[in-house]
Structure 1
Amino acid sequence: MTVSRLKDIPGIGVDKMGDAADAERNRNILRLENLDTDLRPPPEALARTHEAIDDDDANSYLPFTGQTALREAVVARMRGSTGIDYDPHTECIVSAGGLAGILNVLLSILEPGDEVVLTDPTYAGLINRVRLAGGVPRFARLLPGADGWRLDLDSLAAAVSERTRVFLVMSPSMPSGFVANAQEWDAIGTHCRRANAWLVYDAAMERIVFDGQPVIQPAALPDMRERTITVGSVSKEYRMIGWRVGWIVGPAAIMADVRLTSLSNVVCQVGIGMPGATAALTSNDDGVAQAVAQWQERRDFLLTALRDLPVIRPDGGWSLLIDTEQLGLASDEASRLLLAKADVAATPMKGWGPHAGRYLRFVFANEPVARLADIRARVRTAWGM
């Protein structure tokens, strides 16, 4: 019998697609289903991680809030992006990956039945964590257009009610690649202040923005420092997925509760992962700019190769969406045909928001342009168009 907290949680789909692709290792499958990347982490991070294996201090539960050097590096990064000072001891906690941090935050600020405003589409794992924490998801729609994705401000306003407790926003957003502009952040901040709600900002891909767009950190917006909780990690920007190191930064008062939740949940982080994460954040060249340039090159190639299909341009992140319903195909059927006939693994977006089910996601972070060269021919083989 399924417990009630799981009854509205369908999973994320990526796991099933990944298993299906793994089962066909003898085939030349394009792995576009999962947010991995083939680009290497910063060399300093690799070297320091190797050293940490022999470092007894890294083989410890303590300190429970994360190694001091890493917390200091995180608040230094926050100072650089926001101009705001945070106390590494009372306003920063290291988490076992960014998503563990988000769950701990939601468990710390939500009462059962409180409403959380997210974008549609958004990562199914965020929606699921809202439900696990007892929250009720409400959605502000992202609208696709010739210039990419924009937040429907009327939909945002309609999603807010007297039960709104949290705005949970990712920018760049997964899976769409939506990057909130100044007007959209201003609208989010205005609604957040009016509702006396928290802004939980998923900053996992913060600097992965294309075409020279600015990075906007919402904690720096007027009167938002005291109601913004920023959750980041080394997984995406620093290409350190397996380290499982993230961080939470926010006002001291709420961080005391987040600390208690963290101690009651995962307890502590990956000890041998934190020194490498610290090295990544403090390195002279973290490789982010070069990685973003490569990811943008792959995005641009896919946009050109698939230009006759209903593909929506991402302005950041690791993936793009195709509206398969415009082609007369349900997204799960489009995914099945791609794997069966064309050796392409791609995940349908069912469960990623009320209107997300019409889309199929292509991840471009893990396949170089040379491997993507025949993508249009593969799609034609699978879909006959």
Structure 2
Amino acid sequence: MPRPRPRRLQHIQGIGVDQMGNLADASDRDYLRLENLDVDIPPDPDAVAYTEQALHLDGCNSYLPFTGKAHLRDVAAKHVTQISGVEYSGERNCTIAAGGLSGILNVLLATIEEGDEVIITDPIYRGLINRVLLAGGVPKFVPFTFQPGGEWKLDGHALRSAITDRTTAMLLMSPSMPTGGYFDQDDWHLVSELCVSHDLLLILDSAMERLVFDNRPIVHPASFPGMAERTVTVGSSAKELRMIGWRVGWIVAPEALMGDIAAVSMANVVVPVGIAQEAVAIALERSAVTMPQYVTELQARRDLIVEELAGLPVAVPAGGWSLLIRVSDFGIDGDTASKRLLDQGICATSMAGWGGAQAGQYIRFVFSNEPLDRLRGIGAKVRRALGVL
């Protein structure tokens, strides 16, 4: 008899990306790789050079300090201070994680009880849902909505209605993954109003917060009245710094929460990758200079795909690395669309499980890993897959 599955895993689902990637890797066909959140734009060369040096430094081959290198903690705290306007200290308000998602799980484990409801948007990255579940929380979905050819909009009424006496936190991301949905000033004002009035914690996944298009402002919720003491910011080297393989993230939070967060971090991974931390600090310090050209390239890719798919039920992302197409308009689900797209040379992931019951009606295209010249002509391939040519 097989061993029973632990209760905490009963609702854990895969994200589908690995399955599509394995199919593409096993084929000799030159697929457009739109399934995975990789990036073809290299990291800051200074950060790469320091990583090579760090291989030979004894201080980088160490368990200590458990909460992360002091310089990186200072740089991360300063970074969040500059964006939010809230004063943070590397010593008092920051601990380093083995990647952003590890940081999210550590924060959830340190702050919520089993059975607590955690509000997240819908659609949303399946990995965030899984981490809420692993921590014993109950995901409470609030929809992002769109009209074809338009942007995602937060359903403010649904957000208000989602809060119950079991709700203890919101886990939000802007731009959100996989939608590219963006929280504007009014959205964050509503979030802050509800968090303060209901005494909720806000866990901010800031992995893409500066990857915004069309000159949108970057709005940090900790800047709103009453939010500095209840906002936990989790950042990552992966998306903004293009340092996926370095596996470094940071958690910046009110001092009152840091003891528990640090304790969970040490009980979980002990310490993030030593040879990577200083390199990430260098890249983060220099990112104000290196970011604009990178964002410009991402926006150009978004614009090209949106133009190629004009007239189809596409939701236009305000930022990030990906966009969604609502394939249910053609009488199929995301899994079926994914198979048809493979026949057209496109590897893309169904969003089944990436939110509530409606998530499976979408397919996701990631545009961070394919240059403009390879993306041209995608519209005809998609239309053939959807049977609209």
TM superposition score normalised by structure 1: 0.98
Corresponding residue of 2:369: 366
Q: Contact 2:154–2:183 (CA<8 Å) still a contact in 1?
A: yes
Aligned partner (choices 90, 93, 96) of residue 92 of structure 2: 90
Corresponding residue of 2:323: 320
Corresponding residue of 1:198: 201
In 2, Cα distance between equivalents of 1:323 and 1:287? 34
In 2, Cα distance between equivalents of 1:8 and 1:192? 27
Corresponding residue of 2:172: 169
Question: Structure 1, residues 283-318: CA drift from partner, whole Å, max 9, x if none?
Answer: 276521111100000000000000021111000000
Corresponding residue of 2:345: 343
Question: After TM superposition, where is structure 1 displaced by more than 6 Å over at least 4 residues in a row?
Answer: none
Question: Structure 1, residues 90-141: CA drift from partner, whole Å, max 9, x if none?
Answer: 2100000000000000000111100100000111100110000000010111
Q: Call closer, same or farther: CA 1:201–1:284 in 2, change over 3 Å.
A: closer
In 2, Cα distance between equivalents of 1:331 and 1:240? 30
In 1, Cα distance between equivalents of 2:185 and 2:115? 31
Q: Contact 2:44–2:241 (CA<8 Å) still a contact in 1?
A: yes
When the two chains are superposed, the root-mean-square deviation of aligned CA atoms in Å is: 1.1
In 2, Cα distance between equivalents of 1:307 and 1:266? 46
What is the identity, as a one-letter code, of the residue corresponding to 1:112?
Answer: E
In 2, Cα distance between equivalents of 1:162 and 1:42? 46
In 2, Cα distance between equivalents of 1:221 and 1:34? 35
What is the identity, as a one-letter code, of the residue corresponding to 1:196?
Answer: D
Matched, 1:106 2:108: yes
Corresponding residue of 2:17: 14
Return the offset for 1:167.
0.4
Query: Where do 5+ consecutive residues of structure 1 fail to align?
Result: none
Query: Where do 5+ consecutive residues of structure 2 fail to align?
Result: none
Query: What is the 5 A alignment of 1:199-214?
Result: 199-214=202-217
Corresponding residue of 1:116: 118
Q: Call closer, same or farther: CA 1:271–1:104 in 2, change over 3 Å.
A: same
TM superposition score normalised by structure 2: 0.97
In 2, Cα distance between equivalents of 1:14 and 1:237? 20
Corresponding residue of 2:34: 32
Question: Structure 1, residues 6-32: CA drift from partner, whole Å, max 9, x if none?
Answer: 1111211112111111111x1110000
In 2, Cα distance between equivalents of 1:93 and 1:75? 9
SS of residue in 2 equivalent to 1:238: coil
Q: Contact 1:90–1:256 (CA<8 Å) still a contact in 2?
A: no
Question: Structure 1, residues 3-56: CA drift from partner, whole Å, max 9, x if none?
Answer: 1111111211112111111111x1110000011110011111111111111111
Q: Contact 1:42–1:286 (CA<8 Å) still a contact in 2?
A: no
Corresponding residue of 1:140: 142
Return the offset for 1:382.
2.6
Query: What is the 5 A alignment of 1:256-295?
Result: 256-283=259-286, 286-295=289-298
Return the offset for 1:282.
1.8
Q: Contact 2:330–2:386 (CA<8 Å) still a contact in 1?
A: no
Count of residue pairs brought into register by the alignment: 383
| Identity score, percent | 49
SS of residue in 1 equivalent to 2:83: helix
Aligned partner (choices 149, 152, 159) of residue 149 of structure 1: 152
In 2, Cα distance between equivalents of 1:85 and 1:379? 48
In 1, Cα distance between equivalents of 2:242 and 2:142? 30
What is the identity, as a one-letter code, of the residue corresponding to 2:283?
Answer: A
Corresponding residue of 1:57: 59
SS of residue in 1 equivalent to 2:152: strand
Return the offset for 1:343.
1.4
In 2, Cα distance between equivalents of 1:12 and 1:147? 26
Q: Call closer, same or farther: CA 1:51–1:349 in 2, change over 3 Å.
A: same
SS of residue in 1 equivalent to 2:50: helix
Q: Call closer, same or farther: CA 1:50–1:285 in 2, change over 3 Å.
A: farther
In 2, Cα distance between equivalents of 1:198 and 1:83? 19
In 2, Cα distance between equivalents of 1:30 and 1:54? 38
Q: Contact 2:241–2:287 (CA<8 Å) still a contact in 1?
A: no
In 1, Cα distance between equivalents of 2:13 and 2:85? 40
What is the identity, as a one-letter code, of the residue corresponding to 2:51?
Answer: T
Which segment drifts farther, 369-378 or 236-245? 369-378
Corresponding residue of 1:75: 77
SS of residue in 1 equivalent to 2:199: coil
In 1, Cα distance between equivalents of 2:114 and 2:285? 40
Aligned partner (choices 37, 40, 43) of residue 41 of structure 1: 43
Q: Contact 2:324–2:365 (CA<8 Å) still a contact in 1?
A: yes
Query: What is the 5 A alignment of 1:223-234?
Result: 223-234=226-237
